[in-house]
Homo-oligomer: A and B are copies of this chain.
Amino acid sequence: MEQGHEIFHQDELENMRTERLERVEIAKGTIITYCHDKIKVPNGHICEYDFIKHQGAAAILPVLDDGRLLLVRQYRNALDRFTLEIPAGGLDGPDEPTMDAAVRELEEETGYTSDKVSFLISTYPTVAYGNEKIDIYLAEELKKGERRLDEDEFINVEAWSMEDISELIFAGKLQDSKTIAAVMAYSYKKRT
């Protein structure tokens, strides 16, 4: 199962490994550290790669008893527009269990707590140049409570049907990677 049916030129994995000769920290940011890596690729060439160090994040897909999903809407500076996403946030520290972080973000951003939290999928958004990992959980049996936003957070909470979210996704209007992966994976899991 770990190995699919191979086709085309199949190298030995050992011959395809790159080797990192050096990692230089260029600049520290608020949530990431930017580095330059010096990499020896299998043909012996030396290449310069970008590397973004990130301590990890967690996200959660909250499902109401009527089947609708809770999404948060907020302005994203990096895109210069509002996005619709599942609740998510960075870990408090590198050792915080991602399930704890996911449950914390659920409560802070939506006010809901959940009696049934389970692992859904684990994702790396930027395998080409960063080590950020987002573990995504599923929250069911939700109970409404009070939300506790950070004072610098401005977030709306909306309930959406699977059909309406999917329509947005396939129209190219909902584009957040973790949200697409989570919603589509949940739909697959429910069916199988």
Contact = CB atoms under 8 A, between A and B. Distances in A.
Contacts of A32: 50, 52, 129
A151 B43 contact: yes
A188 B184 contact: yes
A116 interface: no
Interface residues of A, number: 100
A92 interface: no
Contact of A188 (B50, B168, B188): B188
Given A43-B152, A82-B13, A111-B8, A126 B127 contact: no
A167 interface: yes
Report the copy number of this chain in the oligomer.
2
Interface of A: 1-11, 13, 15-18, 20, 26-27, 29-32, 34, 36-37, 39, 41-43, 45, 47-52, 68, 70-71, 73-80, 82-83, 85, 110-111, 119, 121-134, 147, 151-152, 154-161, 164, 166-170, 172-173, 175-178, 180-181, 184-185, 187-189, 191-192
Given A8-B157, A177-B177, A77 B20 contact: yes
A83 B13 CA distance: 11
7 contacts: A4-B159, A4-B161, A26-B34, A79-B124, A79-B127, A170-B185, A177-B181
Given A110-B8, A152-B47, A164 B125 contact: no
